[in-house]
Amino acid sequence: MKTRAVRLYGKNDLRLEEFDLPPIKDDEILAKVVSDSLCMSTYKAATQGTDHKRIPKDISENPIMVGHEFSGVLLEVGKKWAHKFKAGDKFSIQPALYYKDGPVGILSAPGYSYKYIGGDATHVVIPNEVMELDCLLPYHGEGFYPASLAEPLSCVIGAMHANYHTTPGSYQHKMEIVDGGKMAILAGVGPMGLAAICYALNREDRKPSLLVITDVDQARLDRAASIYTVEFAKSKGIELHYINTGKSEDPVKELKAISGDSGYDDVFVFAPVRQVIEQADAILGFDGCLNFFAGPDNPKFEATLNFYNVHYAYTHIVGTSGGNNDDLREAIQMLSKGLDPAGLVTHVGGLNAVAEASLKLPELPGGKKLIYTHVDMPLTEIVDFAKLGETDPFYKALAEICNRHQGLWSVEAETYLLENHPSLK
């Protein structure tokens, strides 16, 4: 079986190549990848090369496939797993491989560590350990892009489950956000912030009563507010505010005022910016939990925290990176029941766009960049489809479909692309 894949050979050295996959073993599975969404973690891996903790040291001789937010169809199932999986099953993958007796597998992950599995490929060989660790998960919902976005959604699910608070009169911790509490998501309208908003507004088991989203980019705030509306939040019993802190003379004072000056129970930081972290610390209420979600690429990155409040107001900080199997199952269950994560997607492209886009990811505006691995297509912003459609009938049809879906990507748009893209003919 031939595959086309984007492989990492060294720092900033990503190459799109075609080569043969080895025949699968009895404990492996051959799969067709359909979609993958680009992640900032891939940018970090590609720019750090072998300095990255998940990247093997010999990639110059044994390059690895990149991409870890992917979905597709199983094509051939080895004997060992035939009782559990079958050809034709749609799937999502949990890339963080944790062994049951400890985090031995944390340094091995599809998209970082393997020669024959990664999301930015047409076909892959899923190794035995993925199934052994129950990290290959069936997806029964419509389309493929929701399953690709299950992994980033699982990361924010894990973040909210990881927050904790104390029990009055004791030092026992209660995991989770405060049900009915006050929540703020700072720098919150990038790709992962949008996922956090989507989850906070749609989960059924617990939710905040107040949700405040901040950023300094008004266009991105306006887009988020048009997708995840104040009216929808109100229907869920949530008071929702979008605040441009770049226009505020005193962001901390303004944010605390919205909370009734009591501060926030749960604050999430989605950008590795010192000023944003210090804002988050300053708006914590009593027993408030600050979750630093955004992973910096500078190992000496620092910010100032108020340790008086740590002692007397019981404020505390956690950091999360990725979700676990249970978080991914929760994401897939929500998506299979109809939760549409299309609001996260702002760009669509083909496999030929991956290398350049991955290396420029911090510079690219908008939300998630969705890749269809069997087409060759420039990375294109959805809002540009109509302009391109003035001279290209393919983009014209795609723009009309997106317009029927409030300007968002959709299963209908995905189906049209996969059946009609010129590169498939």
pLDDT in tens, 158-206: 999 999 999 888 888 999 999 999 999 999 999 999 999 999 999 999 9
| Residue 423 located in a structural domain | no
CA distance linking residue 265 with residue 393, whole number of Å? 51
Residues 172 and 80 in one domain: no
Q: How confident is the model at residue 107, as a pLDDT?
A: 65
Q: Which domain holds residue 119?
A: 2-149+341-353
Q: How confident is the model at residue 395, as a pLDDT?
A: 98
pLDDT at 101 over 80: no
Q: How confident is the model at residue 99, as a pLDDT?
A: 59
pLDDT class for 316, splitting at 50, 70, 90? very high
CA distance linking residue 240 with residue 381, whole number of Å? 27
Residues 112 and 9 in one domain: yes
Strand 345-350 relative to strand 368-372, pairing: parallel
| Residue 14 located in a structural domain | yes
| Residue 387 located in a structural domain | no
Q: What is the pLDDT of residues 331-345, one digit of tens each?
A: 999 998 889 999 999
Report whether 214 contacts 268 (CB < 8 A).
no
Residues 31 and 110 in one domain: yes
Residues 207 and 64 in one domain: no
> Token digits for 20?
């043969």
Residues 97 and 241 in one domain: no
Q: How confident is the model at residue 103, as a pLDDT?
A: 45
Q: What are the φ/ψ torsions at residue 285 (nearest 5 degrees)? A: -90, -175
Q: What is the pTM of this model?
A: 0.90
Residues 278 and 225 in one domain: yes
CATH number of the domain where residue 42 is located: 3.90.180.10
Q: What are the φ/ψ torsions at residue 271 (nearest 5 degrees)? A: -145, 135
Residues 165 and 276 in one domain: yes
Residues 102 and 165 in one domain: no
CA distance linking residue 390 with residue 394, whole number of Å? 10
Report whether 312 contacts 286 (CB < 8 A).
no
Report whether 83 contacts 150 (CB < 8 A).
no
**Helix/strand number for the chain, H first, E second:** 15, 19
What is the Cα 39 distance to its own chain's centre? 7
Least confident span in 53-57, 99-103, 206-210, 364-368: 99-103
What is the percentage of the chain residues whose pLDDT exceeds 70? 98
Residues 145 and 162 in one domain: no
Please spell the DSSP secondary structure of 277-336, one letter per residue.
HHHHHHTEEEEEEEEE-S--S-TT------HHHHHHS--EEEE--S--HHHHHHHHHHHH
Residues 162 and 307 in one domain: yes
Contacts of 304 (CB under 8 A, 6+ apart): 274, 278, 281
Residues 137 and 179 in one domain: no
CA distance linking residue 417 with residue 377, whole number of Å? 10
Report whether 155 contacts 327 (CB < 8 A).
yes
Report whether 398 contacts 417 (CB < 8 A).
yes
Q: How confident is the model at residue 392, as a pLDDT?
A: 97
CATH number of the domain where residue 310 is located: 3.40.50.720
Residues 189 and 220 in one domain: yes
How many structural domains compose the chain?
2
319-to-40, 192, 229 alpha-carbon distances in Å: 17, 15, 28
Please choose, from the candidates 116, 143, 122, the residue with its C-alpha nearest in 3D space to the C-alpha of residue 374.
Answer: 122
Q: How confident is the model at residue 100, as a pLDDT?
A: 55
